[in-house]
Amino acid sequence: MPKEFEWPAFVGPTSSVIKKPSDWTDTGILVPHEAIRWYNKNVLEILDVFDPIGQPDTDWKIPVFFDWFDNYYYECIHHHHNAEEEIYNPGIEAKLGRPIEGNIKADHADLLQQLDKLKAFRSRLRSGDAKDVEEFKSFFKDFISVMETHLAQEEEVYPEALKESGMTEAEEGEIIQQIIQGLGLAGNKKFLPPIMYAMCMWRGEQEAFGGFFSSIPPPIQFLFTNCWVADFYENQLQVLDALKASAQFTPKAPVCSICSVM
């Protein structure tokens, strides 16, 4: 673990719906959602100062931002919505005996389409047209706004559906384990560190590592502690901080002898 790295202090959930989690039906959905909101908060701060055309000495931000977006943000957000649609929702609905209420399914399809459109801005921004920068920023901000509304709807619907279905915490835990396994090692490397980082803020470090993290398979815990935290520090935390500033920055991928042989 990098010596410069520290887990953040507890501040409570950022959810507008679940402000004080009461039980596992509340905390389960916050695990991915608080990490996503942490991502979105950082993106909005980056977009506020993102002007690689008007400030040509910051054109390095285009490849650095989109490398992070493609490798981390896109992969994590895409997997989350896919996992809800293909694993989480069917698991709840099978127990509930009816479809989950709301526009969740349609929202997932729309959000994934918009996510793909965001990818295409990399090549457009290379053209050097300031209009493309403003369109990109506006599109991304709108995307985040829609997603925040979607997350809030899920935080109203899912806890109630879990209670109505009679699903137990252990049964929901089995579904969560399927989602974790579906990520694979590469996906867990990318999404588990921001999940734990955000969890320290909304649940507290002791609860995060003494509760949720302790339920994760030991091999994943080992890789997380010895490899993935370093990658998170180098290729996510430092990149996000650098993109909010103007000084030239080149990410340096951490070297891990364990990951290199896997």
With tokens 């879990």, the residue in question is 162
Task: Evaluate whether residue 12 is within a structural domain.
Answer: no
Task: Evaluate whether residue 182 is within a structural domain.
Answer: yes
Task: Evaluate whether residue 7 is within a structural domain.
Answer: no
| Residue 1: predicted pLDDT | 60
**Cα separation of 64 and 59, whole Å?**
9
| Residue 116: predicted pLDDT | 95
Domain assignment of residue 223, given as a range:
24-261
| Residue 79: predicted pLDDT | 93
Secondary structure of residue 261 in the 3-state scheme: helix
| Residue 259: predicted pLDDT | 62
| Residue 258: predicted pLDDT | 65
Predicted TM-score (pTM) of the model is 0.94
Task: Evaluate whether residue 1 is within a structural domain.
Answer: no
**Cα separation of 148 and 99, whole Å?**
22
- DSSP H helical ranges for 69-129: 74-83, 89-96, 104-119, 121-125
- Residue 197: name the closest of 1, 9, 70, 4 by CA: 9
Task: Evaluate whether residue 13 is within a structural domain.
Answer: no
Task: Evaluate whether residue 245 is within a structural domain.
Answer: yes
| Residue 262: predicted pLDDT | 47
| Residue 182: predicted pLDDT | 87
Task: Evaluate whether residue 113 is within a structural domain.
Answer: yes
- Residue 15: name the closest of 134, 171, 153, 135 by CA: 153
| Residue 87: predicted pLDDT | 94
pLDDT in tens, the chain (262 residues): 666 789 999 999 999 999 999 999 999 999 999 999 999 999 999 999 999 999 999 999 999 999 999 999 999 999 999 999 999 999 999 999 999 988 898 999 999 999 999 999 999 998 888 999 999 999 999 999 999 999 999 999 999 999 999 999 999 989 988 998 888 999 999 999 999 999 999 999 999 999 889 988 899 999 999 999 999 999 999 999 999 999 999 998 777 666 654 4
**Cα separation of 185 and 197, whole Å?**
18
33 is written with which tokens? Answer: 């959602």
Specify the number of domains making up the chain.
1
Task: Evaluate whether residue 203 is within a structural domain.
Answer: yes
